Amino acid sequence: MGSFYSTCSITHMTLTNQKTSIQLLVPSYCTDLNAHKGMIVSNEGSQAFFSVFGFPINGKYDDYGHIREIERDKNVEMLEDFFNLGIETLLDNIGDDRWLIYGEKEDKDYWKIKTKDGGPIKNKEIYLSLAKTYFRTEIMESFYGKYTSSMLKELLKTLRNMKEDKEKLKELIPNNEELEKEELNKTLLQISKKISTTLQNKKDENGQELNEEEVNSLKEELNMVCKFIIGHDEINLRYTSYIPSLTEINMFKVLPINEEFEKEIKNQYSLILALSVLRRSLMPSDYGGQQDNYSELVKLNELANELMLKDFMEEMSYEFEHYYLEDEKRFIEDYGERAKRYLKLRKKKKK
């Protein structure tokens, strides 16, 4: 049997035995290409058609559409628990629903999916909607740390507040940590009614008048309890996350992502923004062909790089020679790294 190569969705390089990362994807609000037949036009950047779900899963490509030697980190553990599937089983069955059609619906043992605890698969509908794309790990990591924003800082602040609020919540209901969400909400509703009544009467359980400090403290408790009842500041999470608000499945609303994922969140945000700058849409990866396409790809990339460099030098030469010839410092201030790159190449060309 021939090998089943895939491509890096950033560079379109063929992947064989390299370090490879898989990013799980879920449908964004627009997966219909009919409106984009002339040209893909969207204001959603790289997430026009698919959005990320969880963080990249790192391993080594095995030549048959899979990765092996998978790094077991907290992201992998989170995804395994969320779907009740081992990571290899989870990845190998994406896009292949025979486990559902023949294993569950027709009750054929051969096709039944193997779960972690032998029970049913969790969050089945989300799992059936998943797609995956491949990144050459070194390419993906080269974009880490390049971009940040106030929106990202607000998201991280919200996640930190969630942790603090959960600790405070334990003080209000110390014996209910294992309650199901519906039962927890019932308990929280009872607490919120009790606090509201106390604030309305302005008296504590003993009939004593509340002072200003006690009133403010109760208001904070009520606000915290209400957040958890409605989904812990869901609106704030939606609009401060880098997941488009119109996506069908926002991972911050369903996965147990907290402040412990701060490094992963920062890296992924930077990657997604870099892909948007490069005009790369998150899409399932292409089949990559065989190894004998290397020479042709190298030729193509060399030609493309030559043309891009030519266009870049022509564009920057016009700007520099017409407006900045006597002021390189201001040129660098206005154009940043592009200016530095141009001046370096210009001096090299003159030599």
The segments of the chain whose pLDDT lies below 70 read 1-3, 30-31, 174-183, 227, 229-236, 238, 289-292
Distance CA 271, CA 284 (A): 16
Amino acid occupying residue 342: Y
pLDDT at position 144 is 96
What is the reported pLDDT for 134?
Answer: 96
Cα–Cα distance between 81 and 114 in angstroms, integer?
14
Question: How much is the pLDDT for 177?
Answer: 58
Distance of CA 159 to the CA centre of its chain: 15
Question: Is there a contact between 324 and 330 (Cβ–Cβ < 8 Å)?
Answer: yes
Which of 241, 288, 293, 248 is CA-nearest to residue 266? Answer: 241
Give pLDDT, residue 235.
Answer: 65
3-class DSSP assignment, residue 175:
coil
What residues does each domain of the chain span?
6-147+244-277, 150-240, 303-350
pLDDT confidence of residue 124: 95
pLDDT tens digits, 150-200: 889 989 988 888 777 777 777 777 666 555 666 677 777 888 888 888 888
pLDDT, residue 327, reads 94
pLDDT at 72: 96
The per-residue pLDDT for 210 is 83
pLDDT of residue 78: 97
Position 180 scores a pLDDT of 62
Which pTM was predicted? 0.80
